[in-house]
Amino acid sequence: MAIERLSDEARAAALNELPDWTYDAERDAITRRYTFADFSAAFGFMARVALLAEKADHHPEWSNVWNRVDVLLTTHDAGGLSERDVKMARAIDSLSS
C-alpha cells in the first residue's frame, strides 16, 4: 500500500504532539537538534537510532558535529511527511529522555 503524506489537519495534530520538533515547510519534514555532553554520547545516540531505523526500514537524514546531532525526518516514498516520520520521532525521543 502506498504511503500517504499527512493532510494539513493530521500534520497540525502531529506537530502539536511533538513540541520539540520543528516543521520544515520547504522539505515537508520535521527537524530536531539534539545536544549531548560530548561526541561519545552523541555517537552512542546515533548508533541506537540507526538500529531503530533499520528495524523500522525508515531512515533519518542527519548530521553530526561533535556533541550535536541534527535530525530531519521525511518519507521519501511519499514525497513528504507521513505517519512513519511521526512514529520515528516518537521512538527517537523515547531514546533521548
Which residue ranges make up the site for ligand H2B (CB under 6 A)?
Answer: 57-59, 75-77
Smallest distance, ligand H2B to C-beta of residue 78, A: 7
Rg, Å, the chain Cα set: 13
Give exposure, 39-58, as e/b (b: 16+ Cβ within 10 Å): eeebeebbeebeebbeeeeb
Considering the complex, state which of residue 48 and residue 59 has its C-beta at the smaller distance from ligand H2B.
59
Q: Which is nearer to ligand H2B, 28 or 36 (CB)?
A: 28
Closest contact distance (angstroms) between CB of 10 and ligand H2B is 17
Give the CA dihedral 57, 5, 87, 30, nearest 10 degrees.
100
Nearer to ligand H2B, 11 or 58 (CB): 58
